[in-house]
Amino acid sequence: YIVRYTKVKRAHELTRQDYHMLRDSYKELEEEYQSSLASLEDLTARYEELTKSRESMKRLAYTDYLTGLPNRTAFSEMLDNIMLTIRNEEIIALMDIDIDDFKDINDSLGHAYGDELLLDITHRLKQVLDENDYLARIGGDEFIILTQNLDDTSSYDEKIQRVKELFTKPFLLLAKEYYISVSIGVAFAPRDGKNSQTLIKNVDAAMYMAKANGKNTHACYDASFHQKLTEKIEIQFELRKALEQNELVLFYQPQLDLDTMKIVGFEALVRWNHPTKGLLFPDEFIYVAEENGLIIPIGKWVIRTACLQLKEWSQQYPDLIMAINLSAKQFKDKNLLGMIYDIIEETQINPGNLEFEITETVALEDIEYTDATIRELNKIGVRFSLDDFGTGYSSMSYLKRLPISNLKIDKSFLDAGMIDTSDQKIIQAIITLARNLNLNVIAEGVETVDQ
């Protein structure tokens, strides 16, 4: 009995030991399991965080930060995918919309108001979109609309017109109304390009052609555009050399007083004596100078050369007037007044014999600046003419406010005035208006006795 009891007791003790060992092992396994669960939850949380970060980075990489629109990268990938799967009978369109003179808005009002304008433009563009359209901002002042499922290219004219109409209404910035224009290039696939790179290059060429045609218009791509753009680049390069090598010349158009039949002044007109192309007129190169900023040094050269000629002529004809055109960029240049004062001092001319001409469009773009600038030069005797009168806004209130001396009737009225009674009435109305405001009238481009 004692022996059997001893064996049972020993077996019981061994069983207890095994139990405690198993219990301890279970606890270790439980701890490992809980630790694994925590690690899994941590890994899951980190994975979700990385996924969110990746999606956020992708959004940043594919989204324009200001407008929230797809950016150039997103647009390029979208177009790539479409062009890879485009069917033979399918037509897609690209509309490249570039804001005219956007840099001037940023420079004059500040980038904050430039951004506000871009947001307003984005809002307006969204109003003309439908389910077939994809709008992106591909540059600082450049938007693009990709349109799919077109039946034919002619049906796209309506959308182009709707986009242009968006810009007929003013934008409100700094509690003032600003009229903004755009230049639009249009290209169609597969007609104008069978891959995305070619299509983007061609729609870009169409947009630049619209700008070359005077801005505020649109142009559909044509194969000849690349040749014209090449010529434009050549003009830009050669124009810099022309200024350095004295290839620019001034012609002087006489101004005749019809009462006395005597010459009372001259208008200085710039020409380019090109070494291979001969004599070039302003409409062949001034637009390029406006775009690339060369108009500022060219304008300075014109003013200085004309004043030197005025000084020479005034020794024999002291009352002779010299009229000089100011372009939009020249007139807005912050150094304009200082440059004019320096040239007057250098050439020692009588400021009262100097007259500058600005167009209605330039004058009315910023009426406060125009008024202040003219009055500042009026103080030393310099006079101003309003050029191309009747072709722009022709606001009577602005005309009354601006301290100008002359109105110039645009040549187009005189050309048509001999056969169109409406133009004759307009000319008579301008003359009557000018006389009532004590302004002189200059008729531009008189070439016949009848005119």
Q: What confidence tens digit (pLDDT) does each residue in 199-210 have? A: 999 999 999 889
Q: Would you say residue 342 has pLDDT above 80?
A: yes
User: Quick check: helix, strand or coil at residue 51?
Assistant: helix
Q: Would you say residue 345 has pLDDT above 70?
A: yes
The pLDDT of residue 395 is 57
Q: Rounded to the nearest 5 degrees, what angle is found at the Cα of 76, between the Cα atoms of 99 and 82?
A: 120
Q: Would you say residue 382 has pLDDT above 80?
A: yes
Q: Would you say residue 98 has pLDDT above 90?
A: yes
Q: Report, as an integer, the average pLDDT of 11-26.
A: 68
The pLDDT of residue 45 is 73
The pLDDT of residue 59 is 66
CB 363 within 8 A of CB 391: no
The pLDDT of residue 425 is 87
CB 186 within 8 A of CB 221: yes
The pLDDT of residue 300 is 95
Q: What is the mean pLDDT of the chain?
A: 87
Structure tokens at 275: 């070494």
Cα–Cα distance measured from residue 145 to residue 128, given in angstroms and rounded to the nearest whole number: 10
Q: Would you say residue 195 has pLDDT above 80?
A: yes
The pLDDT of residue 291 is 79
* Residue where the block lists tokens 């940043």: 60
Phi–psi pair at 12, nearest 5 degrees = -65, -40
Q: Would you say residue 279 has pLDDT above 90?
A: yes
* Residue where the block lists tokens 């930060």: 65
Cα–Cα distance measured from residue 338 to residue 334, given in angstroms and rounded to the nearest whole number: 9
Q: Rounded to the nearest 5 degrees, what angle is found at the Cα of 32, between the Cα atoms of 29 and 38?
A: 145
Q: What is the pLDDT of residues 294-338, one digit of tens each?
A: 999 999 999 999 999 999 999 999 999 999 999 988 998 889 999
Count Cα neighbours of 38 within 13 Å in the Cβ-side half-sphere. Answer: 6
Please name the amino acid found at residue 255.
Answer: Q
Q: What is the pLDDT of residues 114-133, one digit of tens each?
A: 999 999 999 999 999 999 99
The pLDDT of residue 49 is 72
Q: Would you say residue 74 has pLDDT above 70?
A: yes
Q: Would you say residue 263 has pLDDT above 90?
A: yes
Residue 247's pLDDT band (cuts 50, 70, 90):
very high
The pLDDT of residue 79 is 94
Residue 396's pLDDT band (cuts 50, 70, 90):
low
The pLDDT of residue 391 is 67
Torsion of CA 317, 321, 325, 331, to 10 degrees: 120
CA–CA distance from 35 to each of 28, 29, 45 (Å)?
10, 10, 15
Cα–Cα nearest to 100, from 29, 183, 168: 183
The pLDDT of residue 392 is 57
CB 351 within 8 A of CB 380: yes
Q: Would you say residue 53 has pLDDT above 70?
A: no
Q: What is the pTM of this model?
A: 0.63
The pLDDT of residue 107 is 81
Residue 19's pLDDT band (cuts 50, 70, 90):
low
Cα–Cα distance measured from residue 55 to residue 49, given in angstroms and rounded to the nearest whole number: 10
Beta-bridge partners for 142: 98, 139
Q: Is 193 left (phi over 0), alpha (psi -120 to 50) or beta?
A: left
Q: Would you say residue 351 has pLDDT above 90?
A: yes
Return the higher-pLDDT residue of 378 and 40.
Answer: 378
* Cα 85 to the center of its chain, rounded Å: 34
CB 139 within 8 A of CB 85: no
Beta-bridge partners for 252: 268
Return the higher-pLDDT residue of 105 and 136.
Answer: 136
Q: Report, as an integer, the average pLDDT of 90-105.
A: 91
Q: Would you say residue 393 has pLDDT above 60?
A: no
Q: Would you say residue 442 has pLDDT above 80?
A: yes
